[in-house]
Amino acid sequence: MKLGVMGGTFDPIHHGHLVTAEEARVQFGLERVLFLPNRHPPHKDPADVTDPEDRYLMTFLATVSNPHFSVSRIEIDRPGASYTIETIRALAARHPDAELHYITGADAILQIMRGEWEQSPELLGMCQFIAATRPGFTLDLQTLRGSNCTGRTLDNVHVMEIPALAISSTDIRSRVRTGRPIKYLVPEAVEAYIAKRNLYGWLTPSGSAARG
Ligand code: NAP
């Protein structure tokens, strides 16, 4: 069984993430994709990241309508920094017959190549990696080889260009802060959740109506 594992901070989750997961599912013949919102991204100050439960709930709302998607609390419930290697080990033990495909942004895959993640070489040997790139971000085999100081071959690293990844969480947060629309960038339920919980400096309910 091929299982997709979609790791991210999802602050917030948007249609670029959803298109990426669905594209990976079809291209790589994944039976399902498990979304893994993290608790504490190791490379970020927790004060700069939205509460994990809010990010978990937005991920749940965004994925609920796709029968092939589900959301795991494995990182949300584990205290401390969300090291991916611990997650992959736990998932491999929980799904011994599954071939895991870790899907995330191309920047993250390059960080692993440069050895910047916890136990990068071991991690790189543990599953398949699908690196999603935005338009204008070139990630080819040469770039990967040039960054690779892990001593591992790259046979298990795959690149997927996703035009919809022109959408970014950073841009969405900035749009909310400055009163610009996020409709059609995120699922409706996520937009409603952001407004209801007043995330990212959402102005007022009347402001939200004006955006519609
Ligand atoms: P990030 O550094 O905020 O994002 C880097 C880029 O990748 C951004 O452009 C981001 O776009 C994109 N991206 C992130 N997740 C994606 C996904 N699932 N599919 C497509 N694009 C994605 O990344 P992050 O979300 O905080 O971290 C990515 C994953 O790496 C997380 O699961 C994190 O826990 C893990 N990580 C682990 C370690 C470690 O184990 N030491 C260290 C660093 C990160 P958006 O901003 O639009 O999402």
- Per residue in 93-108, pLDDT (tens digit) is 999 999 999 999 999 9
For ligand 1, atom 46, the nearest C-alpha belongs to 169
- Reply yes or no on whether the pLDDT at 209 is more than 50: no
| Cα 42 to averaged position of ligand 1 atoms, centre (Å) | 10
Q: Is the CB of 169 under 6 A from ligand 1?
A: yes
- Ligand 1, atom nearest to 87 Cα: 40
The residues pairing with 158 across neighbouring beta strands, listed in sequence order, are 130
Q: Model confidence over 155-198: pLDDT tens digits? A: 999 999 999 989 999 999 999 999 999 999 999 999 999 999 99
Reported residue count of the chain is 212
pTM: 0.94
- What's the CA gap between 166 and 135, in Å, rounded? 7
Pocket test for ligand 1, best of 82, 104, 120, 160 (most atoms within 8 A of CB): 104
Domain ranges of the chain: 2-166, 168-212
Pocket test for ligand 1, best of 27, 35, 43 (most atoms within 8 A of CB): 43
- Strands (E) located in the chain: 2-8, 32-37, 69-71, 99-105, 128-133, 157-161
Contact 109, 131 (CB under 8 A): yes
Band of pLDDT at residue 205, cut at 50, 70 and 90: very low
Contact 162, 134 (CB under 8 A): yes
Q: Is the CB of 117 under 6 A from ligand 1?
A: yes
Residue-level pLDDT at 135: 86
First to last CA, the chain: 42
Pick the CATH number of 2-166 from 3.30.70.260, 3.40.50.620, 3.30.70.360, 3.30.110.30: 3.40.50.620
Exposure string over 58-69, b if 16+ CB within 10 A, otherwise e: bbbbbbeeeeeb
